Amino acid sequence: MPVRLKFILLCSCLWATLSCAADTYESNPAAQALVDELVKEEGFDRASLERVFASAERQESILEAIARPAEKTKPWYEYRKIFLTKKREQKGLEFLAEHRETLARAEQTYGVPREIIVAIIGVETLYGKITGSYRVIDALSTLAFDYPKRSPFFTKELKNYLVLTRDQGFDPLALKGSYAGAMGYGQFMPSSYLSYAVDFDGDEVIDIWNNPVDAIGSVANYFSRHGWRQGEPVVFAADASEDTSAELFVRTRKDLKPVRTVGEFIEAGVVPREDVDPEEMATAMKFELEKGYEYWLGLHNFYVITRYNHSAMYAMSVYQLSQRLADRVSE
């Protein structure tokens, strides 16, 4: 057989292999069940949905990413280095300056400080620079149909995603996000988009991917709807001894909601460094440093930040970045 013909045949076989390598969800029973549900309950066109799932691809890298423990293993002194950087601070100041009027309007409308809004967007996506490279349809389909551990959650998010793309006139195959399906400047999941995203510039399209005005308004609305209290403090530094009972401090996401008063913490040996109303509800945190620990008492607004991401270290990073930005703006 001539060498050229062998080369052509080899290329043809390789192309056929690659073409078949992409697993889609056209014939997946769970996907078909979701199609039936959307047609019946939401009035979707069946043929359109079937075309979507014929194009949605299983991504092994998504399953690998969600299985990694990631941030959970990092102590505070390493975790904070990810977000509390000179670059993130400088880019935050630039974002504040560029969107000054929109942030002022969001603060006035929703009662959420502009520096908190900007810090969330800064921590989540470096102010819109890193929003995710996966197609949202691939991420949510992969996790809904091939990640049994959290299939019910991601199936609901996939359903919400298809609803929002239809209602907003977006191409469901075009939008990009994180490996978990989080989207846009503020990394909203589809359910959060449907509940909290707003058309903040009045153009009748809620675009949190490319429109920072809508993104700013949406983050502010999220905080407002989760109970942000305008003008109230967020967190206080505290003192405690290293032998203070571990049960007093946040250990898992289940411990984030305040269930003790500041007065109760004081009696137990966790004492704020400033005057705080002893009747205020609070959460105590113990963060590991390279040498020793630091202690904090988070109040209601701190808990609100944890509603965005159920992590005390995440919320503290957002708060401390916001304070750096606020301090620099007031200089």
Alpha carbon 329 to its chain centroid, in Å, reads 26
- In whole angstroms, give the CA distance from residue 171 to residue 153: 22
Query: Among this protein's residues, is 124 annotated catalytic?
Result: yes
On the CB side of 241, how many CA atoms lie within 13 Å of its CA? 6
Q: What is the DSSP letter of 111?
A: -
| SS3 labels along 164-212 | HHHHHCCCCCCCEECCCCCECCCCECHHHHHHHCCCCCCCCCCCCCCCH
Residue with tokens 């930040």: 305
- In whole angstroms, give the CA distance from residue 248 to residue 279: 17
Three-state SS at 282? strand
Longest dimension (CA), the chain: 88
Three-state SS at 99? coil
C-alpha closest to that of 311 among 252, 260, 257: 252
Question: Of residues 26, 57, 98, 124, which has the active-site annotation?
Answer: 124
- What element of type H or E holds 301? helix 300-306
C-alpha closest to that of 82 among 266, 254, 316, 292: 316
Three-state SS at 235? strand
Packed helices 212-225 and 114-125: angle between N→C axes, nearest 10 degrees: 110
Q: What is the DSSP letter of 237?
A: E
* Residues annotated as part of the active site: 124
